[in-house]
Amino acid sequence: MQSKGSPVRIVYIVDDDAALLGSLERTFRAAGLTAVSYQTAFAFLDAAPDLSDGCLLLDIIMPEMDGLELQERLNSLGFNMPVIAMTAWGDVETAVQAMKSGAVDFIEKPFNDQALLDAINAALALDRGPTRDRESVVAAKLMAKLSPRERQVLDGLVAGRSTKQMAYDLGISARTVEVHRARMLARLGTHSLAEAIRLAVLAGLPPADLEANAADRQRRSGASRGLPE
């Protein structure tokens, strides 16, 4: 429950699923948060100029105007509220796009209440500009700890590649990819692939040349069969 005299902590939710909105509102209110829901991106866009405090929980897949387009329009308005993107499970490409557009975090559906509340509380605690800059510096330092192969595996994850695809691209076994992935997560100090992807986007480093590795792998494979490169 929110204590008397404490600041109001507001979560704005944009999602076209009415049942999910109702469930999220109950969850947030039970945690002492104020929840305000919008069923369309257009409805939130109309309200956005008059909003200042709080954070935005934004579904990405919606009809008419999706979450990514709403992010672009909000950015053009100078909207500075922290955004948490909701994506489908395993939709890494969309999550990366949302992060590059300024989302502070993303959470995959279906999610558990505690993971969601942790993300919301972290977003509400942010000092937007300086904090984002500091997070980027910390993320870059963590990326510097990765070995070249661990970095390639992380870039593969960010690109949405499967373990088997990365194994083929890099010319190693799937088991070796998994070993490098485990070591990569350990060096980054997380057990979450979502958090690792978030750190990669924050670091803003150019990706390791996974495509070149794949092309080279194909050339070598062709040459071994006596085929022209």
CA–CA gap between residue 77 and residue 192 (Å, rounded): 33
Q: Does the model's pTM come out above 0.75?
A: no
Topology annotation, domain 10-126: Rossmann fold (3.40.50)
Hey, do 10-126 and 134-224 end up sharing a CATH topology, with the first three levels equal?
A: no
**What are the sequence ranges of the domains in the chain?**
10-126, 134-224
Q: In Å, what is the CA distance from 111 to each residue of 100, 101, 103, 117, 158?
A: 22, 22, 18, 10, 20
pLDDT 10s digits, 154-207: 988 888 788 899 999 999 999 999 999 999 999 999 887 778 888 888 887 555
Block residue for tokens 């070796």 = 176
Domain at 134-224, CATH class = mainly alpha
- Among 18-27, 89-98, 189-198, 211-220, name the most confident range: 18-27
pLDDT 10s digits, 111-143: 889 989 998 998 888 755 555 667 788 889 999
